[in-house]
A and B are shown apart, each in its own frame.
Chain A
């Protein structure tokens, strides 16, 4: 009655299928994984408006006003401009040193501010294209001065830096893009 149960010999968990199970899991995670890089246009919003402190004074000539209306038409400092010409206009405006110090253009690249204002009905796509053009203009300027100073493109120069604070080119051409409050419009 109280017979001791037989002690089975070699009661091990079979481990031959371990590799199969691991493979199955591996395939699952391989399929599920998306190594997609998130890309986009980075921007820092201004802090919320404060009634007590007035906005810092900006000299008129340092400010480039880009207006985009409901139909996606562009006005730069009051002049209608084609979207394709925006980049060139921004390059000339920011890098005024090459242009015999035109009094209508920025005093120095550091002082230049590009302001983009839209209407409420402006298509988002046009706005992004406009930001893209402005960034393209800065990329052009930075590439050019990086080639002149270090003999390499800006991306490569930046990769050689130990810390982002050493970036001479960025100090030379800081990107000051201001997103103006939209026109309340109709």
Chain B
């Protein structure tokens, strides 16, 4: 009757792996649901500015993007400042009104996120804003990164 008798290990010493596929599937489904695939190829350069007092956009589903910046020609060459919505460059700024109005009908709580290159001038930004006012999409957001 020794006190230090070894406990006999009757239970199997293996981690059960039968539930592993289930766990993996759960993770998989989580990531599939959260993934937002990038659907636009940028044709303009957008280097965002930085700011300190910024807020998060909570509902990403409501957001529609407008890109403003110098057109990418290639080999680090940039053309004149252009506006891009979804996948297309906008030739006439007046078209923005129609496009954004259609989007507003689909999503009445639309937030327009302006992703403007830091070296742009205010002229084109205000022109776009005037079109947005005409379209009735009044909720806008200047996309900026957090200042480090």
Total A-B Cβ pairs within 8 A = 139
A128 touches B49 (CB 8 A): yes
Interface size, chain A (Cβ < 8 Å): 43
Complex-state Cα separation, A34 to B134, whole angstroms: 34
B109 within 8 A of A: no
Interface size on B, residues (CB 8 A): 49
- Closest-by-CB residue of B relative to A132 is B51
A38 at the interface (CB under 8 A from B): yes
* A-side interface mostly: mixed
CA distance A60 to B65 in the complex (A): 37
Tell me whether B32 is interfacial, beta carbon within 8 Å: yes
* Interface membership of B55, Cβ < 8 A: yes
- Is A136 in the interface zone, CB < 8 Å from B? yes
The yes or no answer to A103 lying at the interface (CB within 8 A) is no
Contact A40 to B57, CB < 8 A, known contacts A25-B28, A120-B126, A121-B123: yes
Q: Of the candidates B52, B111, B113, B119, which one forms a contact with A124 in the assembled complex, judged by CB atoms under 8 Å apart?
A: B119
Q: Contacts A46-B138, A120-B126; is A132 near B118 (CB within 8 Å)?
A: no
Determine whether B20 belongs to the interface, using a CB cutoff of 8 Å to chain A: yes
| Among candidates A22, A37, A44, A47, residue contacting B24 with C-beta atoms closer than 8 Å | A22
Give the interface of A toward B (CB within 8 A).
18-19, 22-23, 25-26, 29-30, 32-35, 37-48, 118-125, 127-129, 131-132, 135-136, 139, 179, 181-182
Nearest 4 A-B pairs (CB), nearest first? A120-B123, A29-B31, A135-B53, A132-B51
The chain B residues found within 8 Å of chain A, CB to CB, are 20-21, 24-25, 27-28, 31-32, 34-38, 49, 51-57, 60, 63, 111, 113, 116-123, 125-126, 129, 132-134, 136, 138-146
